[in-house]
């Protein structure tokens, strides 16, 4: 009973599926689209029936970036007060795994949205880039930070300083994305990956996501300490008992999320 204009959301087999749906402008991310997207993701994050979420676009575009006309004439003060990026920040608080299924353009905010996801599956037609420099700005939703962590300094520098984009093959080669498939197989591939994650014990999945993300901004020593605490904590879950007993008893585990 949602009343979204620019996204289409559904849930099947414990996977929340969200399609960005503003095809006439290559899914340009205007304020309304982002707020609908963040709202539905937040709702799914709290929904026990959802174990993993997938964000996708259409064959031509995942998203060609922020809506340029919407911000073209804004002043710094207007940008600051409106603070659209506060909405984006809520993506970071999501506890369930997010998969980006990318076909066509993933540029600017579109590339940043894909990188804010935990895994990226792409079709052979996917194009990743941060062309903001060509517009007189720089990436604002994580492009300089997440891209650099994903592909290293020199590659990120080249993309951010020249606006050159990467093909899906290049993106795979440099470790920006998980896999590349023909366009007609993209959704099935993303769904399979999502279902695989959805079958795992949810508390462990949640903590695993948290721990991997911590690796991006902690020292190794702090990260290892953090991981150990989460590891010990999981021995208070029923799913840990079930998982290990099932192994010993040579049967399939039945995870309950407790
Ligand atoms: N915003 C608004 N409209 C867009 C955008 C966009 N980012 N991208 C494409 N469109 C529109 C076009 O204006 C066009 O509309 P119309 O038919 O009315 O003229 C329609 O989509 C189709 O686009 P094209 O005709 O240009 O299609 P082509 O296949 O010729 O070209 C390109 C495709 C190469 C992707 C081209 O559209 C393009 O260069 N788009 C802009 C890409 C870009 O610069 N993105 C970065 C934007 S800045 C940004 O993302 C900053 C992020 C900061 C964080 C977010 C804060 C909110």
Place of tokens 């029923």: 238
Ligand 1, atom 53: closest residue by C-alpha:
140
CA of 64 from ligand 1 middle (Å) equals 5
- With a 6 A CB cut-off, is 133 part of the ligand 1 pocket? no
CA of 67 from ligand 1 middle (Å) equals 7
Q: What's the confidence (pLDDT) of residue 251?
A: 98
Confidence of residue 2 (pLDDT cuts 50, 70, 90): confident
Neighbouring residues of 159: CB distance < 8 A, sequence distance ≥ 6? 129, 130, 147, 165, 166
Q: What is the pLDDT of residues 24-80, one digit of tens each?
A: 999 999 999 999 999 999 999 999 999 999 999 999 999 999 999 999 999 999 999
110 is catalytic: no
CA of 27 from ligand 1 middle (Å) equals 8
- Integer Cα distance of 60 and 127 in angstroms: 10
Q: What is the pLDDT of residues 98-152, one digit of tens each?
A: 999 999 999 999 999 999 999 999 999 999 999 999 999 999 999 999 999 999 9
Look over the chain and give the mean of its residue pLDDT values, rounded to a whole number: 97
Among residues 104, 108, 109, 142, which one is catalytic? 109
- With a 6 A CB cut-off, is 141 part of the ligand 1 pocket? yes
Q: What's the confidence (pLDDT) of residue 1?
A: 64
Q: Is this model's pTM higher than 0.90 or not? A: yes
pLDDT above 90: residue 168: yes
73 is catalytic: no
In this structure, which long-range contacts are made by residues 253-258, counting pairs with CB atoms below 8 Å and at least 24 apart in sequence? 253/201, 255/199, 255/200, 255/201, 255/202, 257/48, 257/201, 257/202, 257/203, 258/203
Nearest to 11 by CA among 58, 36, 57, 43: 43
Ligand 1, atom 42: closest residue by C-alpha:
64
Q: What is the pLDDT of residues 170-225, one digit of tens each?
A: 999 999 999 999 999 999 999 999 999 999 999 999 999 999 999 999 999 999 99
φ and ψ at residue 128, rounded to 5 degrees: -110, 135
Interface predicted TM-score of the whole assembly (ipTM), two decimals: 0.98
């Amino acid at each position: 009973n949602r009343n979204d204009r620019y996204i289409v959301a559904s849930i099947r087999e414990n996977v929340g599926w969200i399609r960005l749906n503003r095809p006439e402008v290559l899914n340009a991310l205007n304020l309304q689209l982002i707020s609908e997207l963040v709202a539905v993701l937040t709702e799914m994050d709290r929904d026990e029936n959802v174990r993993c979420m997938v964000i996708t676009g259409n064959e031509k575009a995942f998203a060609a970036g922020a809506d340029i006309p919407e911000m073209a004439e804004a002043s710094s003060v207007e940008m600051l007060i409106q603070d659209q990026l506060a909405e984006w920040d809520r993506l970071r608080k999501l506890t369930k795994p997010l998969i980006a299924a990318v076909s066509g353009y993933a540029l600017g905010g579109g590339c940043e949205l894909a990188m804010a996801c935990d895994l990226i599956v792409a079709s052979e037609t996917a194009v990743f880039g941060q062309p903001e420099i060509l517009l007189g700005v720089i990436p604002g939703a994580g492009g300089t930070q997440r891209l650099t962590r994903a592909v290293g300094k020199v590659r990120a520098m080249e993309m951010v300083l020249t606006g050159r984009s990467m093909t899906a093959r290049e993106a795979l080669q440099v470790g920006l994305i998980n896999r590349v498939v023909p366009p007609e197989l993209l959704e099935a591939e993303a769904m399979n990956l999502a279902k695989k994650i959805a079958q795992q014990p949810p508390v462990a999945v949640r903590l695993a996501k948290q721990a991997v993300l911590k690796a991006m901004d902690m020292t190794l020593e702090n990260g290892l300490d953090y991981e150990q605490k989460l590891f010990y904590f999981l021995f208070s879950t029923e799913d840990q008992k079930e998982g290990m007993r099932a192994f010993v008893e040579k049967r399939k585990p039945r995870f309950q999320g407790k």
